[in-house]
Amino acid sequence: MISGSLTALVTPFKDGKVDAAAYQAFVDWQIRSGTNGLVPCGTTGEASTLTRKEHVQVVDLCVQAAGGRVPVIAGIGSNNTRTAVETALAVQKSGVDAVLAVAPYYNKPGQEGLFQHFQAVAQAIDIDIILYNIPGRSIVDISLETMGRLAQIPNIIGLKDATSDLSRVSDYKAICGGDFIQLSGDDPTALAHWAHGGTGCISVASNIAPAQCAKLHKLCAGGKFAEALVLHEKLDRLFKDLFLDASPAPTKYALSLMDKMQPDVRLPITSCRQSTKDAVVAAMKMAGVEL
């Protein structure tokens, strides 16, 4: 089952290209540190600035480095249904376990358009799909009714919810069923999301603190919420300060301090301000991350 701490992987760049060696070493370190699953080519992976060739390359690199040790859920998001289908077919050939399909952004489709978009992806591939609802970026919000319809499609198995609306967890469980996987898309709400009935988080902070995030989710899975709260409080500043500037610039800066990769990002994302760098270093120390 897809659950626990799943890292929304950054994509390392060097001299304007994907840094394949750094990426595969990073994936291996993530798994050895306890990460329960990997999500390449999402928002944090700067997928919107990758070429189609680079997108497939990054997924291939992830699958190869993971070696079947943890699930790989590849981002295939697009506001063009045909492109989303083509990308899903391409990463299926790479050997991923599932795909992460975001609500189409910019076009502002209605609920029927959303349903048909995801249905088209589901019908095109043989692997599982995790839906991704993030109205703050996509503008559109997948309604409860539409989510219930989508949950009837056999290979749509769950949801990454980045609305921060914890009341939705119970609503989704009621309409989609208890087996429908519910993952938080926001580190700050992950603990509470578990308490409401969720099963994990697709995390940005786990890029930096994979062992700590994996421990947090293991405690939640075991119902040890008091212990999880203590760890959450140590991680809280990291959860939040990684977004003081446009993501993933702060995360890549932190990883450069850890000698995992260069801090390079692609426009329109720019490097961190000094104030953000200072805050991130302080948050890393609070979280117990070795510099």
Is 106 known to be catalytic? no
Place of tokens 């990054």: 58
Q: How far is CA 70 from the centre of its chain?
A: 14
DSSP string over 152-220: TSTTEEEEEE-S--THHHHHHHHHH-TTSEEEES-GGGHHHHHHTT--EEEESGGGT-HHHHHHHHHHH
Place of tokens 């989303």: 84
Catalytic residue, chosen from 17, 23, 105, 132, is 132
Is 132 known to be catalytic? yes
The terminus-to-terminus CA distance of the chain in angstroms comes to 33
CA nearest neighbour of 128 among 99, 86, 160: 99
Contact (CB, 8 A) for 224 and 205: no
Catalytic residue, chosen from 160, 252, 260, 277, is 160
The catalytic residues are 132, 160
